[in-house]
Amino acid sequence: MFVSRKENKIQKLVEMMSEYNRLNHCKFLIQYHIIWCPKYRFNVLNEKIELELRGILRIISERYGYEIKEMEIMPDHIHLFI
């Protein structure tokens, strides 16, 4: 089935709007960008720790119902966008 560009844009807008919360007089979308750094920004987040952290953060997000949209673990800090 062929989907036109206009229909595709409308579909994306509907999907995006479904993420918004609604109250009587407002709509809102709450997202958080969290950055963690070790003390003095030492390079302590090696590959082994990175794999363990990814697993732990996924378990926590599933337990509390958060969606991790982006996660980047670098040697001296972590970016988490939920």
Name which of 59, 70, 66 is nearest 35 in CA terms. Answer: 70
The DSSP bridge pattern shows strands 21-22 and 27-28 to be antiparallel
Contacts 24+ apart (CB under 8 A), 46-50: 46/75
pLDDT grade for 29, boundaries at 50, 70 and 90: confident
Grouping H, G, I as helix, E, B as strand and the rest as coil, residue 71 is: strand
As a whole number, mean pLDDT of residues 18-42 equals: 87
How many of the other CB atoms lie within 10 Å of CB of 78?
18
pLDDT grade for 16, boundaries at 50, 70 and 90: low
What's residue 22's pLDDT? 83
Superfamily, domain 5-81: Transposase IS200-like (3.30.70.1290)
Ranges of each domain in the chain: 5-81
* pLDDT > 70 in the chain, percent: 82
Please check the confidence at residue 55 and state whether its pLDDT lies above 90: yes
